[in-house]
Amino acid sequence: MDRKKFIRASGIGLGIMMMPGMVQCQSAAANDYSLKTEPKIIKDEEGNVLNVIGDIQTHKLVGSETGNQIVEWVDNVEPGVGIPPHIHTREDEIFRVIKGQVEIMIDGETTVLNEGDVAFAPKNIPHSWKVVGTEKAKMITSAFPAGIEFMFQELAELPEGPPDFEKVAAICAKQGISFV
């Protein structure tokens, strides 16, 4: 086959091979990530405060404000409070300690995060955290993509007192989160 025939033949084949990807890109562009977003400044004392089973969260950014790309909240948590080992199937999380100490376990490895320390927990990897030491901890948590904020709102509506673990697990399961 000469060069012109090869280029013509491979160009047609390449076009046919790329067609599924082009269709997939079109459908991805039509999802909620294309929402128009606006700049936003949030002061430390601002945000939507939720008591999520003892985890006092101040939601700073939610999916409706970020094109569903990210949700970010500040945890203000007493010593001894934490989240048991669990796995997310939809979102990755970043934990940044601002004040206090947080013991975090990711994929079986446990460490204590101090002020300024950051941890990344990718989806499908078991992780947990608990405030250690004697002072309250302040931690900025980011989850991406957004969506988990709806689960937190539902958990915050549960009655005060010891949580009904079966009910908590069922709410979390709707978000693709399971306890291990």
Distance (Å, whole) CA 135 – CA 80: 10
SS3 for 62-95 is CHHHCCCCCEEEEEEECCCCEEEEEEECCCEEEE
| Residues of the chain falling short of pLDDT 70 | 1-35
Domains of the chain: 3-30 (no CATH), 48-179 (2.60.120.10)
- Is 41 exposed, middle or buried (CB count within 10 Å of its CB: 0-12, 13-18, 19+)? exposed
* CA 24 to chain CA centroid, nearest Å: 24
E-assigned strand segments in the chain: 48-52, 55-61, 71-77, 82-88, 92-99, 101-106, 109-113, 118-121, 127-132, 137-144, 177-179
- Is 169 exposed, middle or buried (CB count within 10 Å of its CB: 0-12, 13-18, 19+)? middle
Residue 61: what pLDDT? 97
CB of 57 closer than 8 Å to CB of 154:
no
Q: Which single residue is written with the structure tokens 């689960």? A: 151
Residue 48: what pLDDT? 97
pTM, to two decimals: 0.80
* CA 26 to chain CA centroid, nearest Å: 25
Question: For 162, which DSSP code?
Answer: S
